[in-house]
Amino acid sequence: MAIHRIPVGIVGAGPAGLLLGHLLQRAGIESITVDIRSEHHVIERVRAGVLEQTTVDLLRDVGLGGRLTNEGLRHEGLYLAFGGVRHRLDLADLTGGRAITVYGQNEIVRDLIEARRAAGDWILFDAEHVALTHLDTEQPRLQVRTADGEETFVCDYIAGCDGFHGISRASIPSSALRVYEQVHAYTWLGVLAQAAPASQELVYCLHDDGFALLSMRSTSITRLYLQCPPDERLDAWPDERIWRELRIRLQMRDGWVPNEGPILQKGLTGMRSFVIEPMCFGRLFLAGDAAHIVPPTGAKGLNLAVADVWRLARALDEHYRTGSDAALDAYSDAGLRRTWRAQRFSCWMTSLLHRPEGATDFDRRRQRADLEYLVHSRAAMTSLAENYVGFPLD
């Protein structure tokens, strides 16, 4: 077994882990990133695509703005639709010029892998087994088995960026964590369609049959979502049924309707809220979905992960430059403040735009009143816009 000494071990080669490694490399801090999945799987899986203004600014500041600038779709507004009418919220006007950018998570991963390989960073995909040990010591260990053999990395710090089902959080004694969790009674059926988006900006819609969302991944690929029961089966949704339901929910009185085309991918996403406190244990620090899950309605998951690793990279840089652990000690509290703000907004957006199962006439009228107030009150629109485009990282 080969034994290596390295400052930082990173578990998970998704956008959080790769971005953390990139930020550390720019600060002159050596790291290794390991993942049990293949590089192809990490790149090709379709996930979040709405980037807050602060996320876009950070990626550009650290040299990752090339394709993002050329191919990302900047949106200065979004639509809320109900009663067969779309109402546009001018995000830029409401927030002093800030906006969102649609750029797929898989594209960010491509950019990061290219940048890290160009810098000569160490990334291991297809690990057969990964384990964390000695977490309660000053030299935690990252043990990796690959087809080439076993290696142990003795680290100063370990970053768990391996998602909700990863080993990092599971390696922490349950007695050391407090878990907050709520499973929402909604599931999203999401599809990628080979069709030009029928709107240049996102359309969030509340219909009597439930929520629907028109988004996009490019000028030729549309991303669409439907609310369905939490116990729904994917085989119950052939393509014809999906398009029929999308037409029903998204067609507006003025004749607007989504463009249709071949469905390239489809999948079901359950909705939950999850937070663990604290976001660290000894010298193991959790970031992204390993520490928190938010409902996707508010488009916060990827952006929260970016804020986590930005904060962790700064704290590690301060430690190695000055010897101070003040920022590392504050990492969890600062992250939890941002996380709970995102939970509040995402849960509010979810309750605003989804029909609860067995909704009463009272529920329907209350939701309609909420939306009517929102689209006619500049103060209410400003609150939504500020949260949606994101707050400064610090």
Q: Are residues 118 and 253 in the same domain?
A: no
Q: Are residues 50 and 136 in the same domain?
A: yes
Q: Are residues 125 and 28 in the same domain?
A: yes
User: What is the count of structural domains for the chain?
Assistant: 2
pLDDT of amino acid 122: 87
Q: Is residue 84 part of a domain?
A: no
On average, the pLDDT of the chain sits at 95
Segments in the chain forming alpha helices (H)? 15-26, 39-44, 53-61, 66-71, 91-94, 105-118, 167-170, 239-250, 301-322, 326-353, 361-376, 378-389
pLDDT of amino acid 45: 75
Q: Is residue 276 part of a domain?
A: yes
Q: What number of residues does the chain have?
A: 394
pLDDT of amino acid 1: 72
The CA distances from residue 123 to 21, 25, 162, 357, in Å, are: 9, 13, 14, 45
Tens-digit pLDDT profile for residues 266-294: 999 999 999 999 999 999 999 999 999 99
pLDDT of amino acid 46: 66
The type of residue at 155 is C
Q: Is residue 91 part of a domain?
A: no
CA 100 to chain centroid: 14
Residues near 229 by beta carbon (within 8 Å), at least 6 away in sequence:
187, 357
Q: Is residue 24 part of a domain?
A: yes
d(CA 214, CA 191): 10
pLDDT of amino acid 304: 97
Q: Are residues 290 and 245 in the same domain?
A: no
Element of type H or E holding 87: strand 85-90
- DSSP designation for 355: P
d(CA 393, CA 308): 9
Q: Which domain holds residue 207?
A: 184-270+357-389
CA angle 209/210/215 to nearest 5° reads: 125
The type of residue at 175 is S
Q: Are residues 63 and 160 in the same domain?
A: yes
Whole-model pTM: value is 0.94
8: tokens are: 């930082």
Tens-digit pLDDT profile for residues 17-62: 999 999 999 999 999 999 999 988 888 876 678 999 999 999 999 9
Q: Are residues 55 and 138 in the same domain?
A: yes
Q: Are residues 191 and 125 in the same domain?
A: no
Q: Which CATH number covers residue 245?
A: 3.30.9.10
Q: Are residues 172 and 203 in the same domain?
A: no
Q: Are residues 258 and 321 in the same domain?
A: no
Start-to-end CA span in the chain (Å): 42
380: tokens are: 């209410």
Q: Which CATH number covers residue 113?
A: 3.50.50.60
Q: Is residue 311 part of a domain?
A: yes
The 3-state DSSP class for residue 73 equals strand
d(CA 117, CA 124): 11
Q: Is residue 94 part of a domain?
A: no
Q: Are residues 200 and 343 in the same domain?
A: no
Q: Are residues 247 and 309 in the same domain?
A: no
Along the 394 residues of the chain, how does pLDDT read in single tens digits? 789 999 999 999 999 999 999 999 999 999 999 999 998 888 887 667 899 999 999 999 999 999 999 999 999 999 999 999 999 999 999 999 999 999 988 899 999 999 999 998 889 999 999 999 999 999 999 999 998 899 999 999 999 999 999 999 999 999 999 999 999 999 999 999 999 999 999 999 999 999 999 999 889 999 999 999 988 999 999 999 999 999 999 999 999 999 999 999 999 999 999 999 999 999 999 999 999 999 999 999 999 999 999 999 999 999 999 999 999 999 999 999 999 999 999 999 999 999 988 889 999 999 999 999 999 999 999 999 999 999 988 7
Q: Is residue 202 part of a domain?
A: yes
Element of type H or E holding 10: strand 2-11
> At which residue do the structure tokens 């629907």 appear?
212
Q: What is the 3-state secondary structure (H, E, C) of 193-245?
A: ECCCCCCCCCEEEEECCEEEEEEECCCCCEEEEEEECCCCCHHHCCHHHHHHH
Q: Are residues 245 and 141 in the same domain?
A: no
Closest CA to 111 of 187, 56, 168, 172: 56
Closest CA to 267 of 235, 221, 229, 234: 234
Active site residues: 75, 204, 296, 300, 388
Q: Is residue 88 part of a domain?
A: no
Phi/psi at 160 (5° precision): -90, 100
